[in-house]
Structure 1
């Protein structure tokens, strides 16, 4: 974690406000869910809603309350085993693939656990310790990540229900005109990327460092559903010329012929969304595609994926605004006409061609908290920009999301790039 050096009192006040807002949002996200909705686990990569709610509380308990509050007592010490995720140094943990089998504690007991942790954290934050405030800020950003995962994991689980239940009430499809794709040129040269200066950032976002870029161009908007339908209709999924060999083998083995959650009905493409089943919006960014699919689409389009350095340099100086979780749409929306780069933030995570590697000089923090990012720096690719399920407060130009190249259940899409 990296932060600026504000006055201790300001840091403590900001952390307390962030803590209250973050915990309240988690409650809001699940307010309309039934207990049955909150216990499903549809695959090993996804976790039940109840587990997300408990794990984010365990994080505050494990890394702050147990360390900073003498005599702190958990409601149940067994929760440390049930709700640890991957922190080996924090102790043993329940198998990830079996989280959906944890019917006890009940949802009500998990919510009581959350309330217990919140009360203890409020008392501790009242003391104004800047080190506690810094750790609490990390815990809040951790919970924001799980708020996004809660939504995408729940969407995946509900997609198996023939009734196609919606997370949120259905809304009409947003209408717009087709936005032409323009190319925005950027000079090459030595540039800086990575977090520096005020505000929170994860350890993997630094150190800030120089990169050498050749002249390049980015598409003015993300690839849309209409673009993707053209790829499908041109036989893109069956044409090995466009694919990395490993990606084509995966697509063939899994029977991919469209993005995740798509199906055809009466010659029209439909998709399952957080708003229930809806006709695919041709002008909205395509979503739920893997790195392999994004790479194949880019080759088919006569372009390529950007590097994360190209993406970040292009985004620097722009306002972080867009269709985030805060806007409540919970689905990508069509862009608006305008000059320059559009929809760089929100709507859809954009795959890059960059592997999730450490920046020069990266060192993870000591202890279990250092397991947050560093040990995942292998066999994964970076995505940038946030999505319609990302809390706005989490987004920074330097933010690095990462997933394995075959993952599709996240709100992942792409923006084309080419050499200048």
Structure 2
């Protein structure tokens, strides 16, 4: 991406974050029901802090901070940058107010416009801008999922205008992938995160992978067949999670008088049987796969098959732990904390979802979360055969 394209992309990305929030009530901006869900105003401020910290402070001569304590408030997990607010306390920040957060964004946008007008910016600096844009796009998806969690745990089940792409049913049947030597990972010729590199060979036995995602109707059959009561279907940690949470269905599912409903941005609606199941964690995905006589694909199997699949409706759980690829190199300094420090106790998801910003997905993209988390737009694609 050249400098002119970066300027246009910067404006579009920054505007899109604010567009996601345009129908929120002021009170919605501050709520934090659980530690994993950040208040919308925090996302808007943190993405501005990223540009301020990694680009404006070191590279824009004479840059003046909007507020001297915002770095403490809106740093997320970058230890090298300094102290920060505890993640679970983000919802306790009644101040700064929403108006000040938008002023902060405007301050950063104005300064970034001046920085991007500098035709002497190095390739390294331009790469940081591109990283910042992709970072903000990640937070745009988090904005959508966090807003859904906030409103989905409000007993009024409020509606909000956050348009998402229309969900589609996949093709039936299975795709057979022959055994062989394949390539996996990004080649680095276009933007990718460091955890997608480097491209390397993998050996796969013949396997089959479902052409479509598991639907709500299919998952409901699992629920009605006592899937959440059958110990033998679950990992040990998964069964502990079931007992601890008393789970009996995916997040946002509600049974009323024998009928199942689901919270959506249009409010509480009857369960759409043809839509891909959503908001299931790794434990649930694995238990369903066992119940169905199948398994989850590895991330290598997913990536090899992806060009022949319809993907992008849900982040798809894989049976692969989040680990470094051969040849992985972590960047020096705070930027190096972006991905590498999380390569433990997390599972990989592939694809993208209806909440993923347009143009942000790619086949090599590696998302990752702890196996008990549900609040992202997570779904299930089955595989079977040699692993």
Q: Same fold (TM over 0.5)?
A: yes
Contact between 2:20 and 2:162, CA under 8 Å: does it hold in 1?
no
TM-score normalised by L of structure 1: 0.88
Q: Please, which runs of 5 or more residues in structure 1 have no aligned partner?
A: 1-9, 319-339
Provide closer, same or farther for how the CA distance between residues 55 and 180 of structure 1 changes in structure 2, counting only shifts above 3 A: closer
Instruction: Give the one of 209, 217, 222 matched to 1:226.
Output: 217
TM-score normalised by L of structure 2: 0.96
Provide closer, same or farther for how the CA distance between residues 179 and 209 of structure 1 changes in structure 2, counting only shifts above 3 A: closer
1:395 paired residue number: 361
What are the residue-to-residue correspondences of 1:12-411 with 2, within 5 Å? 12-128=3-119, 129=121, 130-168=123-161, 181-315=172-306, 318=307, 341-342=309-310, 344-345=311-312, 347-411=313-377
Question: 1:242-280 CA distances to partner (integer Å, 9 max, x unpaired)?
Answer: 111110111121011000010112322101112221111
Partners of 1:126 and 1:393 lie apart in 2 by 24
Provide closer, same or farther for how the CA distance between residues 169 and 356 of structure 1 changes in structure 2, counting only shifts above 3 A: closer
Q: Please, which runs of 5 or more residues in structure 2 have no aligned partner?
A: none
CA RMSD of aligned residues (A): 1.6
Partners of 2:44 and 2:230 lie apart in 1 by 43
Question: 1:80-120 CA distances to partner (integer Å, 9 max, x unpaired)?
Answer: 00000000000000110000011111100000000000010
**Deviation at residue 179 of structure 1 after TM alignment:** 6.2
SS at match of 1:184: strand
**Deviation at residue 47 of structure 1 after TM alignment:** 0.3
Provide closer, same or farther for how the CA distance between residues 63 and 277 of structure 1 changes in structure 2, counting only shifts above 3 A: same
**Deviation at residue 33 of structure 1 after TM alignment:** 1.1
**Deviation at residue 131 of structure 1 after TM alignment:** 3.0
Contact between 2:214 and 2:277, CA under 8 Å: does it hold in 1?
yes
SS at match of 2:295: coil
Contact between 1:179 and 1:283, CA under 8 Å: does it hold in 2?
no
**Deviation at residue 197 of structure 1 after TM alignment:** 4.4
Give the total of aligned pairs: 383
**Deviation at residue 150 of structure 1 after TM alignment:** 0.8
